[in-house]
Structure 1
Amino acid sequence: MKKVAAMLLCGAALFAADLKVGELKQHVELGYLGTSGNSDSKTLSALYGNDYQWTDSTDVHFKTDAYYGEKDGDKTDERYRAYGIVNHHYSPRGYSYVEAGALRNTFQGYNQQYNGGLGMGYVIIDDKIQLFKVRGGYQYRWANFTDGTDDDFHFLKLGANYNYQFSETGKLESELNFLKNLESTDDFETVFRIAVKVLMAENLSLRVGFEVKYDNTPPLNDDGSEKDKTDTTTTVGIVYDF
């Protein structure tokens, strides 16, 4: 019993610890995923991510996830995403970032979507219990839609992250992003993500997450009608950190 408790405490310390320079931390998640909105299905999902401390002031983060579902031979859901960000800190609170991402989600109307951006951020709270930071910048997007058209966009992007270590083995993570098209007053979207991650054994955690995306001007269906503006995703997965 004492050995198990020691393992959990050790794992919790790693769970909350900062990375050292040159250290890479990776995580793999496998689990159940349910969607509603432009798709309505229940399927399995997979995620891979890593965090790397490049220098004392520069950190790099990468994440990719995927899910695919079929029912009676018909595709019911499909999404592939990849995202990377590099943060460079000028002080304990001020930092800049460069980010890039890619998406394929035909149910939301995208054969391909590519994003790239840069901006500045500010850390409001950063202690062993809480992390709260905000950021803002420019994002460029090129999209190839399922209706056969393509276009590019210029966005103002605002975002915030809040993490809370509510126990030795439990952590809440949340993120809010807002994008406003600089060339159209009606074109904006928001994405909110929240997840609870609980350490069950050394390097092994249970993660429950929820994501809601609202797009005020979504892509069009083949018949010219708008797709649903709101999509939600619920995940329950087992995470292995190494």
Structure 2
Amino acid sequence: MRKVATMLLCGAALFAADIKVGELKQHIELGYLGSSGNSDSQTLSAVYSNDYQWSEMTDMHFKADAYYGEKEGDKTDERYRAYGIVNHHYSPKWYSYVEAGFLRNPFEGYEQQYNGGLGMGYLFIDDKTQLFKVRGGYQYRWANFTDGSDDDFHYLKLGANYNYYFSETSTLESELNFLEDLESADDFETVFRIGVKVLMVENLSLRVGFEVKYDNTPALNDDGSEKDTTDTTTTVGIVYDF
């Protein structure tokens, strides 16, 4: 029996330039997910996020997603993520951020993973057709692994976002993040996400997304061998914005 796990959490987003102070916008996405790498299956996925503008200079974003899959009675996928960020703008270009996140993914070797960080960002382009920004800072991670061990890490984090607005109803969104362990040059991680969202009717859209994660020093299996370095996910979902 295939199950779907959903998570409903709250927050807000930097990209939501049309949100007024004190306004809340929410996003729900349900759809199909295919994965390869440390897991290989077809499941259903659920995403919830919302956007809130605290003031003219400060905004927030919080997003949670989850999926759970079974194949022939065996669990094939399980991942729960939550991520929140607060951005404060000092000028039309410069801003600072504070972020926190949680991950549970036994198939990648994590019983629990907690992240927290802060840094600075710069907005190069933000108009009716494009958005491009970069950021950099420090990230702390504590991880409890499925083999019973735990450890903490100190990272340099670099990231970039690029959005292209084909029209008022069609958008391409992409994000790239890079983590470099400050204590071990061999320990680095990259995550790339890209998606296209097309409005079908009022408040209802179709979204196709792709994510690839590369971990140069992945967690270990129970027998001591390393898990796969690369994991990919592909999603096709229906989005409701309100």
TM-score by length of 2: 0.93
Q: 1:34 aligned to 2:29?
A: no
| Larger helix fraction of residues | 1
Task: Read off the aligned partner of 1:134 and give its amino acid letter.
Answer: V
Question: What letter is aligned with 1:187?
Answer: D
Matched, 1:221 2:221: yes
Q: How many residues align?
A: 228
Return the letter of the residue paired with 2:51.
D
Deviations 1:86-129 (A, max 9, x none): 00000000000000000000000000000000000000001111
Would the aligned equivalents of 1:43 and 1:68 in 2 still touch at CA under 8 Å? Answer: yes
Measured after TM superposition, the shift of residue 84 of structure 1 is 0.4
Structure 2: 5+ residue runs without aligned partners?
A: 1-14
SS of alignment partner, residue 33 of structure 1: strand
C-alpha distance after superposition, 1:191-210 (max 9, x if no partner): 00000000001000000000
Q: Which residue of 2 aligns with 1:63?
A: 63
Q: Is this contact kept in 1: 2:16–2:51, CA < 8 A?
A: no
AA of the residue aligned to 2:119: G
C-alpha separation between the residues in 1 aligned to 2:241 and 2:126?
Answer: 22
Partner of 1:133: 133
1:51 aligns with 2:42: no
1:48-99 CA distances to partner (integer Å, 9 max, x unpaired)? 0011110000000000000000111110010000000000000000000000
Cα distance per residue 1:155-187 (max 9 Å; x no partner):
000000000101221000000000000000100
Deviation beyond 3 Å, 4+ runs, structure 1: none
Q: What is the letter of the counterpart of residue 176 of structure 1?
A: L
Cα drift, residue 16 of structure 1: 7.5
5 Å-filtered alignment, 1:59-208, equals: 59-208=59-208
Distance in 2, Cα, partners of 1:156 & 1:18: 32
1:9 alignment partner in structure 2: none
- Identity across matched positions, percent: 86
Instruction: Give me the whole-angstrom Cα distance separating, in 2, the residues matched to 1:128 and 1:59.
Output: 20
Check conservation: 1:16, 1:128, Cα contact below 8 A: no
State the SS of the aligned residue for 2:107.
helix
Which of these two proteins has the greater Rg computed from alpha carbons? Answer: 1
Counterpart CA distance in 2 for 1:205 and 1:80 is 23
Per-residue deviation, 1:18: 1.3
